[in-house]
């Protein structure tokens, strides 16, 4: 993240994407922010220009539908033309409205095209050029705990984020095996974060719930994780401690190892066993 290097962030008109772009700009990076929300991009460009070392000249906005690989190629070309080689790609764009296993097929397709297809498109389009660069580069894909612990309620979202996890793991392995690569991959796993994605209809007073983190707190954790060389950057929140996260993930993986029913954490027959497991040491 050297001063003058180039960061591309998708889904950057708000939330974690905007917070990350703001941080990158404040570090002296030139930032290319992409979003399908043209009005939102125009609104936040001035915010970023106020902190960028080169002002507005160091901020590029590109309206992009990440589900369309041609649009992602156009994003890459615009970033290269304006700033040169990309040092950091953050595939963050996502939507939340999905569906259950046998409901809302059209919403499923749209969500998968954005949440997984958008990440895949970003990797496919940007990674080959980044691999050839002599200087260290980063690809950060934004996942979710829902793609790991798989809670009920929005199967489409959990499936999309599970796919992002697997893709990013495979990407990290491939990059390690490539002698030409100075690129590292990282999976950012936010906890409960107060954004326009998780809270499309905020509380009446617009206040952040006490249990949620802000997007800036997630970016703080992301920066610390990258500095430490972490692949999995697992974020707690004000309700969920790191130990609680670890235990929940262990239980989820235990369904397979112990041959329990799928998603046993939410099965009444295992309520007492799960509670005891969370309290155990």
Active site residues: 157
Strands laid side by side in the 137-142 sheet: 59-63, 30-35, 6-10, 88-91, 137-142, 183-189, 232-234
Q: Are 168 and 143 in contact (CB under 8 A)?
A: yes
Q: Which residues pair with 234 in a beta bridge?
A: 189
Angle value at C-alpha 40, between 39 and 44, nearest 5 degrees: 120
In what helix (H) or strand (E) does residue 234 lie, and over which residues does it extend?
A: strand 232-234
Q: Are 66 and 93 in contact (CB under 8 A)?
A: yes
DSSP letter, residue 168: H
6-10/30-35 β-pairing: parallel
DSSP string, 89-154: EEE---------TTS-HHHHHHHHHHHTHHHHHHHHHHHHHHHT-SS-EEEEEE--THHHH--TT-
């Amino acid at each position: 993240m050297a001063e003058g290097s180039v960061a591309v962030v998708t889904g950057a008109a708000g939330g974690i994407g905007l917070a990350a772009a703001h941080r990158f700009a404040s570090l002296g990076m030139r930032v290319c922010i992409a979003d399908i929300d043209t009005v939102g991009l125009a609104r936040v460009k001035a915010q970023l220009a106020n902190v960028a070392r080169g002002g507005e000249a160091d901020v590029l906005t590109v309206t992009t539908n990440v589900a369309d690989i041609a649009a992602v190629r156009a994003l890459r070309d615009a970033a290269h033309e304006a700033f040169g080689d990309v040092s950091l790609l953050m595939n963050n764009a996502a939507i939340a409205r999905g569906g259950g296993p046998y409901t809302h097929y059209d919403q499923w397709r749209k969500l998968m095209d954005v949440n997984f297809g958008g990440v895949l498109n970003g990797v496919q389009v940007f990674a080959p050029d980044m691999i050839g660069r002599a200087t260290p580069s980063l690809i950060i894909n934004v996942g979710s705990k829902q793609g790991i612990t798989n809670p009920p309620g929005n199967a489409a979202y959990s499936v999309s984020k599970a796919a992002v996890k697997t893709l990013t793991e495979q990407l990290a392995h491939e990059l390690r095996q490539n002698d030409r690569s100075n690129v590292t991959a990282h999976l950012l796993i936010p906890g409960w974060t107060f954004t326009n994605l998780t809270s499309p209809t905020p509380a009446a007073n617009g206040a952040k719930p006490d249990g949620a983190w802000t997007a800036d707190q997630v970016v703080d954790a992301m920066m610390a994780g990258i500095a430490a060389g972490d692949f999995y950057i697992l974020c707690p929140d004000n309700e969920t401690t790191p130990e609680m996260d670890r235990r929940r993930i262990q239980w989820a993986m235990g369904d397979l190892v112990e041959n329990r029913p799928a998603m046993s954490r939410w099965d009444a027959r295992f309520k007492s066993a799960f509670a005891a497991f969370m309290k155990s040491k």
